[in-house]
Structure 1
């Protein structure tokens, strides 16, 4: 190497390592002597043509893009007498291979393993986002900074993935860490995940998945055999960690984790921990984060119907209805007798305006659970949308027959819907009974009193109607509607002076002005128009019962 005592602007000081593609030296800048770097001198045979030269510099530009805290930084690149070289920062903390050798006497803690894998995954994820894969990830090229952070080196074998999900290339890599597809000349981002899975396996067990001195035997095992799960080799490893590693080592790349960060995150927490965190986030209405937690739990327990349901509910809250529908359908596939899943699927279909499909989903919910009041209520909503008012009323009345409706204050809405559609159908006795039931369940809802007042007016029970509107006013909500009803009741009682006084007081408020301005002298005409206005206001309750969160979020993975 005498002829290479200097290269570019650097003086070579001492060799650090050597590999298939070249040697690495510690070097210093010829002028800036305090700048100590690493120089990788590649074999000259790699650059034999102008095309090779262009390819080398193109690859160097890609490597220069990889500015990440856990990737060894490329400082310079060049050719000297057709010998290609890369100048990088110097990693002074040794390599993961050296650390693995030392761990034979002092094993890694689980926290150490998680930190190492997390940093590697963050670096790989960054590279993959730039469509660059490593192709030769192994402990030898996972280095450490002086502060103990990961620095991934040797992206020199990487290939750009352009718009394809994988490319065919020459067989390259280090056999103990090569994915099955790499032995067939196929590279992909999932190949890096497989290599990381091999490294995780080695960190957790002290051995590679397929130890063998024979490269052909090793290749055969990578292609066709399953290694013993890590928790079998090392019983101290949590089973969910073992499952995550084995998924990363799947023979088919499509069956691995969605990405390297997903793999490492699956190691970090158990399904139960992901579920509990998701439930807490859901309770805080942080639905995006909750959905992510449920998805992480599903990575580890992919056939859990209740987890799919929790994820679907979070997605529904995010108004990502198509994704939610897919998750509900998966829930039902796994648990066909899950009535709540059918009900919530129907609600998503309603949002997508697929009303007939929604009706079928609600019907299935009531077949599974004939006492499911909410499903009957939702059936009524769809039938109303389809202008099938008689059938809608029948559905609402069916809902009111359920025991739960008589106990839960939130179900006063069911009676209110029964009341409003009965008003539309001129069934004033039915409407009156429904509103009285709503008031009995929840006496603090002004619109129940208003609806009762409207029904009483049509039944010519004007004194009682006036009392009902005054009760609505005492709740201090929906005062515009309540005042309008009171004025009409006073008109019907021929208390015109008092009606005018209430009217003029209401006009002084901007809040009431628009509706008050529609009040005329004809009480019957006012009542007809007021009924329509009230019905329009009441339509806003349609979705109040369908606050998409599950009534009971599963407390444990066993329930989920």
Structure 2
């Protein structure tokens, strides 16, 4: 009697069919895939996916020579194209992933391979090609990059970045097994097992060949659920271990979810749905970075934001609407939510013994709340997950960005948006986030509230209460200023703008502000309302009016740090008016405060690209300080303000500073690239600049030498500097003279030494070759001493890194003259600065200025590698910088230099890859250029509504991207596409705007 159940488990059925298929093949029969499909039409999809791979492996065993070398267990040759296959690192129903070495570049990559073309079903090949195409268009920190595709010896394959990481399902198993404190630690343990330090695992040989059929059947089990079966998932296996699930564990779950949500937000913005998010498709590396892999089921989003059609996915992680053939971005979020649910509970959200029961649960039942399975799960994290896995898409997060925002709120201990919180809870959260200042701030809040009450006319009538009000306001402002100084200190040096220089030596600049970290911004938001309240108080009392004026000035400082230039300008003007009222009553008493505000107002004008108004504001401050009587002028604070005013007037331009630092290598935006310095003066003969295709990574020419008589100037000849160069140099010299006096009198005071170092660095661009080097050496010496004296003051190390990364005029000329010693010296100094900047960023990952500094130094170092044709080093530096820049862009989407900086880094990497010339590199370069264009096009459509410098930047950047894409397409043999790209480039730039070195122009110049 047949005792099999009426509804056998489809997994067991598939396993039995696969075993039967293997047994018949080994007996010498020739079973076909179609035969099994005919007998079991209900399992057609799974049979066609798995059986061809089994057949390929069995044919390998039958054809192997008994005495020859063992081939790969998968039947593959040792080499595919330029890639030497080292070892298998993963497999699924449709293909096998190998670690490989790309011999032409000497780098490790991952190669995903399908069986021989003759064994492929059309559906498999279509899915494989879709995965490569979809993934190649996506460039995100948390998405595995695809470098290129190929076909060799009948095998289709594509090449990815090799991620030394572990799939999340394996990480969860390791967490349950070894006693790790969180998932990141468990990932490191898993990676140590998979990638032993002793060396690479050997290529699979004869011993593993006998296990191939079992491997494929196991892969079939894991993938069978894609078309509807209830495949058991590895992440569901471990038992719960709540005793070890502490704060570190919950934070690691949230960080994993945040990174995947960020990646999905980007993919969705690019019009791509993943449709198979699950633990097995999420890789975690040793640094805790999560990589989204396997876009084999990805689909383009329809214009209405959805996708309709086939029902695909891994059943356990499919959203209810997917069973109706409806999919949109919220379906991916549902799958991610179920993954997070498993991480919280170490159990699947839906468990059932068969396909029908599982589908019923997904469609009609809500999973148990995680806290009912483990009460230690944080309430907010549970709320986030439950909102993400709501059965009705309307009740889920509207976008991956919204989910990422709430996960970020949870990690930063802020109220999540999934529910409302009371004012009391919000205050409690703020205090818990800022333990170091909570008591100080709390006292300040109470004091300031008392000031607000006491400043009314009724309270100040009594002399005793008046004195009490005065003392209270002094305490409150002092406490608040201490908080401000700790978390958002004023920069002695304004932030640099981002600039690129076109072929006519004109700068296109994007203004920058010193961006606050999210933590500091949140704290200042709390202080802002208090300063606003106090600044609005009216009083005739001089002492209280002074407090109001000081609070209003501080309000402007906060607004400026937020980048709210219009509001900062208004606050500073109101503060000036208040101090003018005070000065009318006490002549000459508030000149320093007024001068400081004029300097800050000048910095606001500089950020708005209003250079003449910035200069006028600095001059106003200078006039006030110089008009002080001799007794006041000799005071140290006044002399320091005077030196800072001289410094601001003496910078290379009113809104920036620093040397040209070069731009994208290998054909990004034009020679000269992004700079922290000012534009090249229009006077004097233009330099002969090689084009990007010919001189990838060249060191920029920089401004003409102001002394004009450098014997190494070569073709540039003698240059007569414009009058303002001499004036600026004189201002800096005066600043240095004042500061040297202050340092002699107060050798332990850090502020004068810090500003003196900045002045030495700035003047090095205006001095002769030898003097420039001496000034730079003096700046480095001062900053090294400051860093040693105050290791806990990261801003000194920040400026030290920036100074070490400075290239003097003499060094610049020597490197253009191919001076090997000078190049080696600068490269060593830049490498030291880069390593130090990376260390600083690691210690302070939430300070955007430190991240921006690290990226800028990476760019300078990469240029030198490009000049020396050190392709591997060039590519490594750029690939390290791009994720940092992407994180800045994600966290601060409204800061233009960050957005354009990411674009320029990508174009730099694309140019470096293009210049290597190999097809995989050309394919990746093409994808990078296309990604840049896709990001710039929406902004370009609104170009008419933008300010002049932004219009120029967008047109210039978009045109350059099209021009470079045309070169790549031509190298790939797509002449039609290349012609179209060149046409678009000329439409944006005009034929007269070609960069020197573009095709045609260079040849014409050479013939002349």
TM-score (normalizing by structure 2): 0.27
With CA pairs under 8 Å and 6+ residues apart, which has the higher RCO, 1 or 2?
A: 2
TM-score (normalizing by structure 1): 0.47
